[in-house]
Amino acid sequence: SAASVDVAFYENGPWGGIEIHLDALDAGTVVASDVITIADGGGRDNPTTATLAVDGATFDSLKLYATYGDDPSAPRIMMDDLTLTP
């Protein structure tokens, strides 16, 4: 019924504008989602962390992915503290 994951990534520099998504799916349909957008506030490669979380829905799988505009993206992120709540 709930999931959360901490992610670490670089902000600013060439990374600004990339979105990191966490979708909860039930039978292939998105039932809950969360997204963070990597900031582009100037500077270069500032390490930061954020939490992505979904709750309040029954789901059978999770999808973690990134986009830049309408295109898939592949930023460097580290994941930690994945928590699943039945």
Count how many Cα atoms sit within 13 Å of the Cα of residue 80 in the half-sphere of its side chain: 6
Grade residue 47 by pLDDT with cuts at 50, 70 and 90: confident
Q: pLDDT averaged over the chain?
A: 90
Sequence-distant (≥ 6) Cβ neighbours of residue 16 within 8 angstroms: 38, 39, 40, 41
Rounded-to-10 torsion of CA 51, 33, 64, 3: 60
pLDDT > 90? residue 46: no
The pLDDT value recorded for residue 67 is: 95
Q: Give the pLDDT band (50/70/90) at residue 37.
A: very high
Higher pLDDT, 12 or 36: 36
